[in-house]
Structure 1
């Protein structure tokens, strides 16, 4: 007997030959199901809501990668897609069991696959980094809380400088972190849920600094920040200072997204964590004793 969630349209059930489906995420931007098809294979169905249409560039990025470092797109229909099921083990959980160094090795491995050259021409739907950073430029210009205004203005200035001097511009995942790297299939660790951006590859590691979620003590630890800088600079092929500057720029952007979603700087949410990281990283960048 066929069993599937009511939120999965009948036409998709028929097109993708779905026998059963489990709703695993219902967010502001999408509905995500883990499905079993009639041939016994598993997959992930993702339906974008109106608020999530910006994620189409991420699907285009996956299409372009064709499984190199990321899940494969099996089929797509307008704003819905059928994706390879990468598994259920998130790098966030693996890190808890095996430690920071083991998790970082996996990030480097996935990053290398994502940045491998492709003979295929990238889609022109990828979002340029300057457009991606628009929220921090806009909010920094109108924020009236002095301490937050200072942090966002600093982040926006760094972002503007970085974006004006990008090198090796290429397609980027754009949202690489411990919950978007997953394992459990025979293909090992794979990236999911990309933003689908176009820009300097140094940005692709910026979000790692503010993750995993809930690891606040580690996130603001200067020793961890330096370790990540030391790992990512040679992997990307750029200076250590550039890696840290992109992390600071992204922290400001992440604060803006969180505030738009109703988060506050006070409390224990993402905005507070990124605000604290930004201030620690700024001191490190400006501290003469820290050689970058």
Structure 2
């Protein structure tokens, strides 16, 4: 059983290894955050009256602790401070449990959220692929609403991505980077204004008790939902790699999501291509680019255009 007043021994070693040594993004590096984590957990426990109910589990950037308070089952999520998580609590407040995990309370200073419990061992990887794509499209419809001014705008990133594509890389085909830069110019109009979960993929949808499936871990942006389909293409990649025709396979995924969400499929394909190319360019900028990852981004981007 986890002790919220001394969680340090309960933090999974594999999570420590992922976070240790991370540079600040923008506030705390991984090592500093790991040192602060036990104190923040104690303070959250005292402030919200929490008692741990089970062992710590984790995602990529957060630890999650099952708890209860006054007989109510809740979950305490403590995230490593990084820019993509800064507005997570605001998005969950706007959605108010409609299509997403319900937020009970937030402590932004400690990057802490108090959430409803979900079945963390059941996600959309448990469904057949196209059924899972249809669920994601349906959630996009449910989550869609106007974005308030405090959310980062998708258009603000377009200039950065255009510069990235114009600069290019010897490791990424020039034809692709030029095409992505051109696509970004045409996508600018109408790309802002909706509250979008830009990382809505199979593992970021968990089974719930009050609803069959609920979105978690939003990285919110004021954008358009066509931008958010791309993670559906690059996750469950082993199934894509086995496809007879990668082009047909990925476009079928995109088409099912687009139909379920009511999106323009041409914009879905254009945004997906852009995101795959920029992923390839970011990978190429790494000191030691991962060849399998780079190859995957380039191969998938090519399938969006052939």
Aligned match of 1:171: 195
Equivalent position of 1:112 in the other structure = 141
Q: Which residue number corresponds to residue 28 of structure 2?
A: none
Identify which of 103, 106, 115 aligns with 1:73: 103
Any conservation in 1 of the 2:2–2:56 contact (CA below 8 Å)?
no
Determine if the alignment matches structure 1 residue 36 to structure 2 residue 59.
no
Aligned partner of 2:58 in structure 1 is 25
Quote the Cα distance in structure 2 between the aligned partners of 1:36 and 1:234.
39
TM-score, normalising length: structure 1: 0.79
Distance 2:50 2:240 in 1: 41
Is 1:167–1:200's contact at 8 Å kept on the other side of the alignment?
Answer: yes
Return 1-10 or 66-75, whichever deviates more: 1-10
Which stretch of structure 1 is more off in the superposition, 182-191 or 253-262? 253-262
Contact 2:172 2:284 in 1 (8 A): no
Is residue 2:296 matched to residue 1:273? yes
Q: For each residue in 1:123-167, what CA deviation from the matched residue of structure 2 results, as whole angstroms up to 9, or x when unmatched?
A: 32211112345553343233331534443332232123212x226
1:241-260 matches, cutoff 5 A: 241-259=266-284
Q: Give the superposed CA RMSD.
A: 2.9
In structure 2, runs of 5+ residues without a counterpart are 9-36
1:168 & 1:235 partners in 2: Cα distance? 21
Q: Give the Cα–Cα distance (whole angstroms) in 1 for the partners of residues 2 and 155 of structure 2.
A: 47
CA distance in 1, matches of 2:94, 2:266: 30
**1:265 Cα offset (Å):** 5.0
SS at match of 2:64: strand
SS class of match (2:268): helix
The DSSP-based 3-state class of the residue aligned with 1:141 is helix
Who is 2:3 aligned against?
3
SS of 2:186 mapped into structure 1:
helix
Taking structure 2 as the reference length, what is the TM-score of the superposition?
A: 0.76
The one of 34, 48, 57 aligned to 2:79: 48
Which residue does 1:200 correspond to in 2? Answer: 224
Q: CA 1:214/1:49 → structure 2, altered by over 3 Å: closer, same or farther?
A: same
2:181 is the alignment partner of 1:156 = yes
Deviation at 1:207, TM superposition (A): 1.9
> In the aligned structure 2, how far is the partner of 1:234 from the partner of 1:92?
18
The whole-number CA distance in structure 1 between the counterparts of 2:301 and 2:238 is 16
In the other structure, the counterpart of 1:142 is: 167
Q: Residue 288 of structure 1 corresponds to which residue in structure 2? A: none
Output one character per residue of 1:63-108: Cα deviation in whole Å (capped at 9) or x when no partner: 111111101211111232212222224434313xxx2232123222
Cα pair distance change 1:2/1:135, threshold 3 Å: same
Q: How many residues align?
A: 270
Structure 1 residue 171 displacement after superposition: 1.0
Cα distance in 1 between the residues matched to 2:288 and 2:117: 31
Structure 1, residues 197-227: CA drift from partner, whole Å, max 9, x if none?
Answer: 1122211222212222544416872222232
